[in-house]
Amino acid sequence: MKNRHLLISGIFLLIATVGCNSNQSGGSDANSVKLQGAGASFPAPLYTKWFKSFGGNRKDVVVDYQSVGSGAGVKGVIDKTVDFGASDAAMSDEEISRVPGGVQLIPMTAGSIVIAYNLPDVKDLKLPRKAYPAIFLGKIKKWNDPEIAKANPGAKLPDEPINVVVRADSSGTSFVFSKHLSAINPDFDKAVGVNKMPNWPVGTKSKGNEGVTASLMTTPGSIGYIEYGYAKSQSVPFAQLENKSGKFVAADTASGQAALASAELPTNLIVWNSDPQGDTAYPIVTYTWQIFYTKYDSKKAAAIQELIKYELNDGQKESEALGYIPLPQNVVAKGLSAASSITAQ
């Protein structure tokens, strides 16, 4: 009987705790603000950390972010089912035209896309510019193909099929990756082209950077494209890629910053550098954007202004540890200036 009373007491305590958390999330507190965001999985680990830290300092604001892919994030903004979206593919002029009142895109962080692989006997893989587009075209089918072997003398490349893993969802990561492959390989540009959901001629499909990472980790002989932070956090090996200068470069903060430095951010804060120049530049680097409406009710407008300030200032200090590239100061300044266009109705 005593145990039964303890069990019942525990249940009531759990209910009370859940109810308390519900109030903190903005459900019944008239003074609290809940911001609903959705979109890119590329920056999701960093955004999750940011929003938790921001909410810890601002008890009256809760930010809920769903990692559903860039395409779904843009759709959520157009359909007005979210307070803000997130996309590695930014938004096209046509997409922006579908939002009455317009939107403001602000780059929040930047990151590299790596080609990760699962070959237990190969610790340092190099992939030439001729090789990796051909792998994703299905033209290079085996790990010991001569194009790969000549860049990796002495490596134990298996005489086994390459299991290609690609994204199943509408993805900014796919957009950036296919944009790079199209820029360096005319055959890829003609056969596949640039798309959030490319019609890949080869590959097993997984959803999100999370899904591709999981597939790579569990399937020996696999190769796929994921955000650097996911590879870093899960200790997934990734290849050095041959850049435009003919140098093999690994993704890290320095090589990412070198790539960003080779492109000037225009007034609309959207820029692509699909094949950056420079001996030390990593070849696949992109900004990733949050997408805001230009008008909100007064409480949400104030909360969003505070959130943007946090992300572009204190938030940048948390970027590198999770595998992202802290924004250059001139980009931070442009982002803070652009935020002034977000006002109360």
Tell me the pLDDT tens digit for each residue of 51-86: 999 999 888 999 999 999 999 999 999 999 999 999
Domains and CATH numbers, the chain: 32-111+286-344 (3.40.190.10), 112-285 (3.40.190.10)
Q: What is the pLDDT of residue 18?
A: 35
Which residues are bridge partners to 286 per DSSP?
111
Whether residue 7 has pLDDT greater than 70: no
Tell me the pLDDT tens digit for each residue of 79-118: 999 999 999 999 999 999 999 999 999 999 999 999 999 9
pLDDT band for position 10 (50/70/90)?
Answer: very low
Comparing C-alpha atoms, which of 174, 116, 151 is closest to residue 246?
151
Whether residue 271 has pLDDT greater than 50: yes
